[in-house]
Amino acid sequence: MTGSFRNLTVYQKAFDLAMQIFEITKSFPKDERYELTDQIRRSSRAACRAIGEGYRKRQYPKHFSSKISDSDMENTETQVSLDFALECKYITKEEYKGILEKSEEVGRMLNHMIENPEKYMPRS
Cα distance between the two ends of the chain: 11
Instruction: Encode pLDDT of 20-30 as tens digits.
Output: 999 999 999 99
Quote the pLDDT of residue 1. 44
How far, in Å, are 10, 30, 42, 120 from residue 102 at the CA level? 10, 26, 17, 22
Instruction: Please say if the pLDDT value at position 3 is more than 90.
Output: no
What is the mean pLDDT of the segment spanning 76-103? 98
Enumerate residues 6+ apart whose C-beta is below 8 A from 38: none
Find, among 24, 5, 11, the residue nearest to 71 by Cα.
11
Instruction: Encode pLDDT of 16-65 as tens digits.
Output: 999 999 999 999 999 998 899 999 999 999 999 999 999 999 999 999 99
Instruction: Please say if the pLDDT value at position 69 is more than 50.
Output: yes
Q: What share of the chain is helix, strand, coil (3-state, %, to 5)?
A: 80, 0, 20
CATH number belonging to domain 5-116: 1.20.1440.60
Instruction: Please say if the pLDDT value at position 124 is more than 70.
Output: no
Quote the pLDDT of residue 79. 98
103 phi/psi in degrees, rounded to 5: -65, -40
Provide the 3-class DSSP secondary structure of residue 71.
Answer: helix
